[in-house]
A and B are shown apart, each in its own frame.
Chain A
Amino acid sequence: MAIKIPILKVGRVLVVPIQVDMDDATVLQLQDSILNELERTGARGVLIDISLLEMVDSFIGRMLSDIAAMARIMDARTVVVGMQPAVAITLVELGLELGGVDTVLNVDEGIKLLRGEFVLDDDDAASANEGFSFSGESFHRS
């Protein structure tokens, strides 16, 4: 069964809805895909929706921090949205801090936060109005 984690582009923000329980290889591949897309599109923000993730362990936590750190080097900010309360509690007890990663409740807030980071020019407004568009880069679980 091939499970796809799409990377969508909304204006100058990459939106990554994680919908599956990811094995380690999938996590690493997703990290690569996001960084490739950042480079290809020059996006200024990365919004990772983890509302369907039932667990964040040290491996996924580290992926999120690494993405944020690398995105920052490419002048983009990373926001993680929709963390389930049980996941948040477990993360704290595990002792993980998602360094450099902002967490917000939902996608709307995430977009608002990222939009505040940079002034939208006309191009951005136009592409944002087109709504979600597949960026072409997607990836399959092996």
Chain B
Amino acid sequence: MESRSIALEQETDIAVARNEVRAAAAGMGFSIVDQTRLTTVASELARNIIKYAVRGRVIIGTVQNDSRKGLRLIFEDNGPGIANTELAMRDGFTTGGGLGKGLPGSRRLVDDFKIESTPDIGTRVTVVRWLIR
């Protein structure tokens, strides 16, 4: 599967991202539980972009590492960024009146999780779930 980029520009794009991620995960042979994990991560991180950065995109692709194959999702935006990512990763931390579960919860649902953010430049969250672990 070549990587594909999905624009996140309006609320309905969150559902589009969910469907694309589920289809990609199903196509790679992920279990129903893993498909659900990845779909939920897509929903949380895509919504963060719409909510805090207004627009951005998600890039869906595969990664290969030794004998393992994984699904990688990159969520990136040129929004306001996050001043303190350590704080933002804590359960319950929110500046948007949310539950503060999106980022820390997403980390628990994948194998690899990386967040890079620079104030006024933007945010990139990269996650991978491996097929054979």
Contact = CB atoms under 8 A, between A and B. Distances in A.
Interface residues of B, number: 27
A130 B22 CA distance: 40
Interface centre among A25, A86, A87 (most CB of B within 10 A): A86
Interface of A: 21-25, 54-59, 61-62, 84-87, 89-90, 93-96
Contact of B39 (A24, A54, A95, A96): A54
Interface string B21-47: 010000000001101110110011001
B105 A94 contact: yes
A93 B101 CA distance: 10
10 contacts: A54-B39, A55-B36, A57-B40, A57-B44, A61-B99, A86-B35, A90-B40, A93-B108, A93-B109, A94-B101
Contacts of A85: 33
Do most interface residues of chain A lie in helix, strand or loop, or is the interface mixed? helix
A42 B54 CA distance: 40
Nearest to A85: B33
A94 B106 CA distance: 7
B105 to A, nearest CB: 4
Contacts of B91: 95
B11 interface: yes
Interface centre among A21, A57, A96 (most CB of B within 10 A): A57
